[in-house]
Structure 1
C-alpha cells in the first residue's frame, strides 16, 4: 500500500511538472524563433538603410563635383586641353574625409585623376582585377556608358593599407568622353551590422537563459513541495494535494507573468537597440541634401541649382538672399543677375502682402523661381521672360513665362527640375500648373494659400 501511495504521489508530482515543462518549452521555442525572425528582418532593414544612405551620399558628392566643373564643361570645346587640365586640377583637390576622393578615367581605361594613388595616373587599368576576379575599371566604364550607377568591388583603403569592400558611383562626362566617380568604403556597414547582430543574439541568449532559470527554479520548487507532502501523514494527503494543486496554479500564473515580463523586457531591449541604429542611420541620411539628392538617371544630368548657391548647400537649404535682402529684394537681385548674365530681357512685377510670409512659402517661391530661370537659360532660347507675383483668391501666386521654343509637357515634363518644383508645391498643399507649346513658349504658375 505504501509503495502504491508513493507511486501515486510520484505520478502526481510528474503530472504537475510535465505540463509546465512542455508549455514553457513550447512558449520559449516559439518566442525565440519569432525573436530571431524579427531580429533578422530588422537587421536586414538596418543594413538596407545604411546602404541607402551610402547611395545618397555618393550621389550627393558626385552632384557637387559635377556642379563644380559644370561651367567649365559647358564653355569648353571637345579636345580643349586647357579645360581638361583645369577640370583635372579641380577634381584632384576635391578630397573629403580620410578616404574620400574623385577618380577620372578615359573610355580606354587610362587613369587621368587619382589624388590618393598618383602612381596610377597615366596607366591603362582596363584589365585590372580585384581579388574576386572583377574587372573593376572595365565594369565602371560600362556602367558610366549605360547612364551611370553604382558598383561594388575590392580596392585598397588608404587609411588601412589593405583591400576593403568599396561602393562607387560613376557618371560619364560626354564632352570629354570621361568616366568620373567617387566611392565609399563599406566595411563599416559590415561592422555595424555584425555589432547589431551580436547584441541581438546576446539579448536572445539572455532571454533563453532567463527562461531556463525560471523553469529550473519552478521544477525545484515543485519537487520540494512534493517531498514535503510525502513527509506528512497519509490522512492529510488529500488536503495536501488540494493545497499543492492550489499553490501550483498560483505559482504557474506567477511564473508565466514573470516569464512574460522577461520576454517583454528582452524584446524592449531589442527594439531599443534597433531604434538606436535606425536613428543613427536617419541622422546620417539627414546630413545629405534631401531636396538636392535624387536618382541620377543619366551621366550628364546634374542638380539644377545655381552656381552661387553651391557654397550655401547645408542642412536647411535656406538661401542667404532671403535673410539678407528679403523675398522681394532677393527675387529682384536674382532676376537682375539673370538678365545681366544671359542678355534676356526681364519684366518683373512683385506685389507681396504687407505681413511677412512664412519661411516655407518664401523659400519655396524663391527656389521655384530660381529653378524656372535656370531651365529657361539652359533650354528655352527665349528673348523675353516675365516674372509676376500677386495675391488673389486667397492665394499668393507666382507666374514665370517666356517666349522660348517651348516643349511638350506630356513627353518631356518629367525632368528633375520640374519634378522638384511640383514636389515643393505639393508639400505645402499648393497649386502647380505648366502650359507650353512648341514654338510658343512656356508658362509656369504656382499658388500657395495665405491667410
Structure 2
C-alpha cells in the first residue's frame, strides 16, 4: 500500500468500525425500548379491557339475578335467562355465551351452529383447548383467559380476551370477551415507529460517517500531496548533496594529484633530465641525480598507493575488515602522533557481508578524520566484536568533547549524518555520547542468519 492509502485506511477504518458499533448499539437499545413500550401499551389496554369485561359480566349477572337468585332452578327459568342473555350485546362483536360444566354450549347469539354441541376438545389456532381453559379459569376464580376465536364481523380467527364466571346451582359458565385487534394494531404501530426511528437514525449516522470519511479522504489527500512535495524537496536536497559530495571528492583527489603526485612527477622529470645531461657531459654527479630521481619515483608510487587506499583499501578485499582497520589505525597513529588501542575480537573465520565490511571501514575512517580535526585527543580506542546475530564497532577518544545534537544539526556537519545514514540503511543501531574528556560512538549492524 502507498503511504496515502495507509493514511486513509488508518483514518477511515476506525471511523467505520465506530459507526458500525454505534449503529449496533442504537438498534439494540431502540428495539429494547420499543419492546418495553409495546409491553406497557399492551398492559394498559388489557387492564382497561379487563375492567370493561368485569362491568359487562356484572351487568349480565344483574339481568338474570331475579331468575337465578330467586331459587327458580326449573328449566323454564333457565330458558328465560338464556333468552335474556342472548338479547344483550355491545359494540359490533360484543355478546355473551354460556357453557355447562362439561363443555356443551348452551347459548351463543352470533354462532347458532355451536349451540348444543360438545366443545370440550375444541382447540384454537394455537392448539389451546379453549373451552377447557375457560372453565378452568372460571373455577379457579380468576376468570380471565386469552385464546383465539372466529370474529363474527370478519370471519377471521383473532385473539380474544374473555372473562367468565360460574353460576352456582345451575352449573353454568357465563362469560363475554373482547377481540384484541386494537391491541395488535397498537403494538404493530409502536413497532413500526421504532423501526422508522431506527431507519432515520441509521440514515443520520451514515450521513455523518460519509461526511467524516470524505473529510478524512480530503485530509489524507492534502497530507499526501504535502508529503509528496516534502519528499520531492528532500530528494532534491539529497541529490544536490550527493553531487556536492562527488564534487568534493573529485576536488580532493584533484588537489592530491596536482599538489602531490604531479609535483613529484615534475620533480622526477627534471631530475632525470639533469642526470641525462650530466651523463652525456661526462660529469661526475649523473649517478647521484639518477639515484635521487629513483627515490622520488618511489615516493610518487607510495602517494598513489595512499590515494588508492583511501578510495578502496586493498586489504579489505584480500585480508578482510580487521586487517584493513588495523592498517588504518596504524597509519592514523603514525600520521597524527596519537596512541591508538585497537582490539579485534572477531573470530578468525568470521565472514562479514561486503556491504557491512565497507560500511564499518568507512565509519572508522570518518570517525578518525573527525578525531584528527576536532577532538584534540591523546588516546583513541577502537573495539570490533561480533556474536551470531550482529557485529559491534566502538570508537572513542579522550578529547575535548562536543554537543552531539548541535553538531548533527549544523549545515556543514555531514560526517555524523553520513555515519547515521549508513547504519540506518543496513538496519542497524547508532548511538553517540560525548562530554569533556570522553567521546564514544557505538555502531551495531545485524548479520544475516546462516
Q: Normalising TM by the smaller chain, what interval?
A: 0.3 to 0.5
Larger Rg: 2
Higher relative contact order (CA 8 A, sep 6+): 1
| TM-score, with length taken from structure 2 | 0.46
TM-score by length of 1: 0.46
